[in-house]
Amino acid sequence: MAARPTIHPMPFELLDPASLPGDPLDAEEALLARASAGDAVAHLWSAPVSLIVPRSYQRYAPLADARATFAQRGCPVWLRLSGGGLVPQGPGILNLSLAYPVRATMGALAEPVYLHLCGILADALNTLGVLTHHQAVEGSFCDGRFNLAWGPGGDARKIAGTAQYWRRAPQTSALSSGDRDTPRYAVLAHAVLLVNADPIEINERANAFEAMIGSGRRYEEMKVVTVAQALAYECFDIPADLFDRVRGAIAARITEAALPEGS
């Protein structure tokens, strides 16, 4: 595993979810606005039954009709800013969004941003007895090499997915000439953690939508794992308040975290 980036001592402010819009895209815009203003903020949140897809899905002609059909079934489909693929939302799924300013060329810190995000989640889960690492898990929804995974090598299952989005931010005043030559961005880093969701249901829902838009994608239930399942496989007791414990562990880690190098 690659070394984690050196970090600076700027803390994150953990926001009250009630202070942000309920629409995920509107919430992302609010977080990016805070980052553009120079703040480092964190948002731990959950969503009702829904799906979130990148704007690149607009290339599928049936998208609008599929979104309308799923909305009628009680499963709205939201568009997000970052890339990647479809992500299910609903009970038992916890989201972490980090937004902060960086001064670097576009994408230069992409890997440190991912390692920083994965490190926060991995450290939090480790306190609960779940050991994870980052790797791609072929067959999982929104697959990428910075998934957080549980289990060894080819048997690893995805427990969290990650994504990031960069937006050019205005330069601040009183900068040195060297700093003025380096562009400033607001970065949004996001993770979707499966805590105690139903893997069968979320995969069936995701596959049904992909089939309706004709994307050709299909996801496998056995390629993902929840925190509850990982604990059970390791023969640990599953506390009744697991979701709250996971949220608390991540919140505690956020209060200790600082920004990736270059921020």
Residues that are catalytic: 142
- HSE at residue 249, side-chain half, CA atoms within 13 A, is 22
Phi, psi of 77 (to 5 degrees): -120, 115
d(CA 77, CA 83): 15
d(CA 30, CA 19): 10
d(CA 49, CA 81): 20
CA-based nearest residue to 92, from 221, 194, 225: 194
Largest CA distance in the chain: 58
Phi, psi of 162 (to 5 degrees): -135, 155
